[in-house]
A and B are shown apart, each in its own frame.
Chain A
Amino acid sequence: MTGSLGARRLVLLVPTLLGVVTLVFAFLHLVPGDPVEIMLGESAAPADVAALRRDLGLDRPLPAQYARFLLRAARGDLGQSIAFRTSVARAVAGRYPATLELAGAAFVLALGLALPLGVAAALRPGSAVDRIARLASLAGACLPGFWLGPLLILLFSLRLGWLPVSGRGGLAHLVLPATTLGLGMLAVLVRLVRASMIGALGEDYVRSARAKGAPERRVIAVHALRNALLPVTTVAGLQAGALLAGAIITETIFAWPGLGRLLVQAIDARDYPLVQGCVLAIGLTYVGVNTATDLLHRAIDPRLRDAR
């Protein structure tokens, strides 16, 4: 069943990505700005501008350019970056691991803290732990990354001297950007886990488990938490996509050499192929994460496994 779902999602992947690429292509060409003028400069001879436009295929009608891009992409050729004069695939591949590392760390951090904090808050509503969890989630939802990032640097790098200010390196370099990026997701998940757990703990099956004498730890971990996790996995999957978008700001603040910064550069340069390559990579990741979420959902919930 899981296998056929995976296959169905893979089939759906194609129109989804096609839609993303089509929208990006259309919007990019609506925005003012010309990559050839940017590339050759304003003093370039009109003949040179025309020749380069021809070489890059930018003199063709938009539908022809679009068809050409699609045909190439289908063969795995994303074209050449206009601004950086390198293959788009190479440019994207060079930056993708950094973004994945940052978003992955933020995801692990957010989920790793949200689960215990949310469960603890749900077990004792109104307690000090609950109040702290709710306050932390409120703060996390309110603090924008562009403000929080420099603040964390001031505290942990400059005042305490514990962590590096910026750049990519070992684990120490990852802590502040991952915290900045993951805090928003943490805020959402803590509230969700708490609410979901409170709901699950009031269900009949939990009461039955307790009545049958199941140990409290087992009641919480197996009966309540497993059911409470269903909405959490769905939201976590969606939030993972938001992490990729949020990474653009975090990468800029912490000089993190990821895909988000490359995308901003590409947009500034009206580097159409590179923008499309970056968006395609982000779109693929987003769809991949959500497919994985669906599969996980089915693994957790036997009702979905058995459903036709």
Chain B
Amino acid sequence: MPPAGLVLALQSDPQSLDPRFGVDANAARLADLLHVALTQPDAAARRRPELAASWEVPDPLTIVFHLRSDFHFADGAPVEANDVRATYLAVLDPALASPKRAALAVLSSIDARDPTTVVMHLREPFAPFLDATGLGILPAARARDPGEVTVGAGPFRVVRAERGERIVLEPNPGYPGGPPRLDPLVVRIVPDEVVRVLELKRGGVQLIEDAPEPEMVDWLARFPHLVVRRGPGSSFDYLALNLRDPRLAQRRVREAIALALDRDAVVRFILGGAARPASGLLAPEHWAYAPARTHRHDPARARRLLERAGYPDPDGPGPLPRFRLVYKTSNQPERRRLAEAIQAALAQIGIALEVRTYEWGTLFADVRSGNFQLCALAWVGIGDPDLYYLAFHSTMRPPAGYNRGGYASPVMDRLMESGRRELDPGRRRAIYARIQRRAARDLPVVPLWWEDRIVVQSQRLRGFEPSPDGDLHGLARAWMEAGEAAQVPEEPPEKEAERESAQAARGGSRAGVGLGASEQQSARSARAADGPPEDLNTE
């Protein structure tokens, strides 16, 4: 079958196609296509072999990786241990100012024992370290180039990068198992959600990974040349609470807020059913997931908790609130709708919520500096459960980490410390089960939901399995079915929406060294970030 091309639309330009620098969501997605890493995560967030055929841990401070010899860079050179060593050392070099350096801080040295053996020495036992081995490998000779290096050994190579417009890729002929069948693979940057949807309908684009608003998904599902695929996602939405506020410092108040929210209704009416109520950071598909208490909608109990916390309702069913809080959110339409739903829910238990909307950079700066009372955020691309440490350990309060609400619990601190030291998977899992149960009780944040992964694609695209975190590894073995160009009807046919459930993805990946997860204003808008630069930052 002759190769056929595919056009994929992304919301924003990847900040960099260089694995040493790109940390935004779309940079990670392009890294999936251009570069190969020692390991990649699977759907359960376990590390799976990629360039490394296997690895062993002879002692708690040493990891030995045995490399495959059939990976080749796009220029034909084989990928060897020296390339791995040079890439890691470059990222560790402060002069390069790589944002991924912090994730490798525990690495004390790295040796290339022979062309297919890499030995990494750690400063201390550190169970989450494998998450940092998702770093894309560059040729040793280019590893310290200060400019952007795009030569990799992934399934595709860059033909042309017209920033802000399109990136044209072609198959890497040296890719193990044969080059991909999508030729070319064009990544178009289409910032406007409506236009992405219209391009898909017209046939100018054949795949979008950033799910549009629920009503647009339903509309697209009515066209026979398109397929909407839904599957469980790993993005975790939560309500961040500032525990420095004396009211929110009380667990009863936090629990009352959790009980006031009708997650099922919000998921159904605002998210179009595309989410599951969450109990904590880790979704049920995650290897370390353990069931924990979820707070079902119970406003009567929420009111009683507030009474017991010392906040009586001054006028019963009257208009006066027990107290007022400020809820900060971004100016995204869906986030504003969510804010209104939360405002209405809290009004029912006597908490008046003032909603303030901000441009993302300003909101994020406020969140980072602890200048907030309530706001809704999301973690996307969750990998190792050590994220609990980064998000809730008492030493991780900004500016050093993500514990923006200022949660502190000596018990949790000890558990999270042992979770990163424990190398036995079984014992580690037990530790994180305790952490999840305790977090569900303490409520350092109020869990909202795990967002589903929604991918809309041409029916001609075959062999592509979407992943829970939106990575694009699946395109390496996908192809476009031959046939006439899509027949686009003028009006949607009057038939039942055609939907196909996505299988739980295989080969998920978040190539990001760095955080295993990035935090985002809306997981729906892009797997990552929001941020600065058209997603340039880690929202």
Q: Which residues of A contact B (CB under 8 A)?
A: 31-35, 37-46, 48-49, 51-52, 55, 83-86, 91, 94-95, 98, 149-150, 153-154, 157-159, 164-168, 252-255, 257-258, 261-262, 264-271
Minimum Cβ distance to chain A for residue B428 (Å): 21
Q: Which residues of A contact B515 (CB under 8 A)?
A: 41-43
Inter-chain contact A267/B191, CB cutoff 8 Å = no
Q: Which 10 A-B pairs have the closest CB atoms?
A: A269-B532, A257-B164, A32-B365, A257-B165, A268-B532, A265-B533, A33-B361, A269-B533, A38-B537, A255-B190
Q: Which residues of A contact B166 (CB under 8 A)?
A: 167
Complex interface: chain A residues within 8 A of B368 (CB): 37, 42
**Docked complex Cα distance between A248 and B416 (Å):** 46
B102 touches A262 (CB 8 A): no
Given contacts A38-B536, A153-B198, contact A269 B401 (CB under 8 A): no
Q: Are B536 and A265 in contact (CB under 8 A)?
A: yes
B101 interfacial by beta-carbon distance below 8 Å = yes
| In contact, B361 and A166 (Cβ under 8 angstroms) | no
Main secondary structure of the interface of A (DSSP, over half): helix
- Enumerate chain A residues within 8 angstroms of B399, measured Cβ to Cβ: 37, 42, 46, 49
How far in angstroms is the closest Cβ of chain B from A90? 10
Q: Quote the shortest CB–CB distance from B147 to chain A (angstroms).
A: 8
CB distance from B445 to the nearest CB of A (A): 16
A153 to B54, CA, bound (A): 52
Query: Is there an interface contact between A84 and B15, defined as CB atoms closer than 8 Å?
Result: yes
Identify which of A37, A158, A257 contacts B189 (C-beta below 8 A). Answer: A257
Residue of A nearest to B490 (CB): A159
Interchain CB contact (< 8 A) of B365 among A33, A44, A269: A33
Instruction: Give the chain B neighbours of A94 by CB distance below 8 A.
Output: 163-164
Is the Cβ of A268 less than 8 Å from the Cβ of B536? yes
Q: Which residue of B lies closest to A43 (CB)?
A: B102
Q: A42-B398, A154-B198, A157-B198 are in contact. Are A265 and B105 (CB under 8 A)?
A: no
Interface segment out of the listed B199-207, B266-274, B286-294, B465-473: B199-207
Report the contact-size class of chain B (Cβ under 8 Å from the partner).
35 or more
Q: A154 vs B201: C-alpha distance in the bound complex, in angstroms?
A: 11
Are A39 and B99 in touch, CB under 8 angstroms? yes
Residues of B within 8 A of A (CB): 12-13, 15-16, 21, 23, 94, 97, 99, 101-103, 105, 147-148, 162-166, 188-192, 194-195, 198-199, 201-202, 204, 359-362, 364-366, 368-369, 390, 398-402, 488, 490, 514-515, 530-534, 536-538
Closest to A268 in B: B532
Q: A42-B398, A42-B401 are in contact. Are A269 and B531 (CB under 8 A)?
A: yes
Closest residue of chain A to B12 (Cβ to Cβ) is A265
CA gap between A269 and B147 in the complex, in Å: 19
Contact B534 A265 (CB under 8 A): yes
Q: Does the CB pair B533–A83 fall under 8 Å?
A: yes
A49, A153, A258, A268: which contacts B360 (Cβ < 8 A)?
A268
Q: Are A83 and B165 in contact (CB-based, < 8 A)?
A: no
Interface centre among B103, B359, B534 (most CB of A within 10 A): B534
Docked Cα-Cα span, A229 to B190, in Å, equals 40
Contact A268/B537 with A39-B99, A40-B102 known, Cβ cut-off 8 Å: yes
A41 to B381, CA, bound (A): 15
Interface centre among B15, B101, B361 (most CB of A within 10 A): B361
Q: Assess the B105–A255 pair: CB atoms within 8 A.
A: no
When chains A and B are docked, how far (Å) is the Cα of A72 from the Cα of B397? 38
**Residues on B with beta carbons closer than 8 Å to the beta carbon of A255:** 165, 188-192, 195
Given the interface contacts A48-B94, A167-B188, does A42 sit within 8 Å of B402 by beta carbon?
A: yes
Whether the Cβ atoms of A168 and B165 lie closer than 8 Å is yes
Q: A38-B531, A255-B188, A269-B536 are in contact. List 15 more A-B contacts (CB 8 A).
A: A32-B362, A32-B365, A32-B366, A43-B514, A45-B101, A83-B533, A158-B198, A158-B488, A257-B162, A265-B536, A268-B359, A268-B534, A268-B536, A269-B533, A270-B361
What is the minimal beta-carbon distance from A247 to any residue of chain B, in angstroms?
A: 13
Query: Could you say which of B12, B361, B369, B530 contacts A267, with CB atoms under 8 Å apart?
Result: B361
The answer on a CB contact under 8 Å between A164 and B204 is yes
Q: Do B99 and A158 touch (CB < 8 A)?
A: no
Which residues on A sit within 8 Å (CB–CB) of B204? Answer: 164-167
